[in-house]
Chain A
Amino acid sequence: STLLSPDALIKHPLQNKWALWFFKNDRTKEWTANLKLVTSFDTVEDFWALYNHVQKASKLPSGCDYSLFKDGIQPMWEDGQNKDGGRWLINLNKQQRHSDLDNFWLETLLCLIGESFEEYSDDVNGAVVNVRNKGDKLSLWTRDATRPDAIMKIGKKLKDSLKIPIKIAIGFQAHTDTMTKTGSTARDRFRV
């Protein structure tokens, strides 16, 4: 009988269990009713089975979101593990939906499930992609907005993974600032 290496038999376990959420903007319903948990997974193989199965972000109708968060964390500021945190926010222009959005989202997912942020991976809660007519947004959420070393390391790694040029800066906003903002955007606590 042929001997199969364990590699071919067992699924590759991830450090964390992750949950994919889908939000569809239906104004006739309550906001939370529009947020659906798709499924959760904790192996590389199950991640790909999910990713290859669902619609690409760039093909989602405007007003929809995908979120991938560690199991047990809901993709909203109000969650106990998000409320003291913040997000690195990447604003895309309209052309980037076709050129960059899907690549950016996949590279972000691979950073999350692969624990690419090394000793700061525990600071990462998840990531969100918002598909919007006025410009799509991708954000990476961390659990504590008062940890500059972790936040800067995570921001640099994110830019590097997405191959965002050095001269293009991205900003980190604390959720508390975003919640209480008066203007259109919250102030950046960090930039990289």
Chain B
Amino acid sequence: GSKIFYERSFLLQCRNSP
């Protein structure tokens, strides 16, 4: 099946989003 994965850069971007 399909897997949800996230790039490191995207995860770091989400750190400060409200």
Within the complex, the shortest CB–CB distance from B8 to chain A, in Å, comes to 5
A-B CB pair tally, cutoff 8 Å: 40
Within the complex, the shortest CB–CB distance from B15 to chain A, in Å, comes to 5
- Contact of B4 with A14 in the complex, beta carbons under 8 Å: yes
Q: Is A121 an interface residue (CB 8 A)?
A: yes
**Interface SS, B side:** loop
Within the complex, the shortest CB–CB distance from A150 to chain B, in Å, comes to 15
A-B pairs with lowest CB-CB distance, top 8: A115-B5, A114-B6, A15-B4, A44-B14, A48-B15, A110-B11, A110-B8, A15-B3
Which residues in B have their C-beta under 8 angstroms from that of A52? Answer: 15
Total number of B residues with any Cβ neighbor in A under 8 Å: 11
Which of A13, A48, A116 is within 8 Å of B4, CB to CB?
A: A13
Which of A12, A107, A110, A121 is within 8 Å of B3, CB to CB?
A: A121
Q: What is the chain B residue whose CB lies nearest that of A115?
A: B5
Known: A115-B3, A121-B3. A12 touches B8 (CB 8 A): no
Q: Is A26 an interface residue (CB 8 A)?
A: no
Within the complex, the shortest CB–CB distance from A12 to chain B, in Å, comes to 7
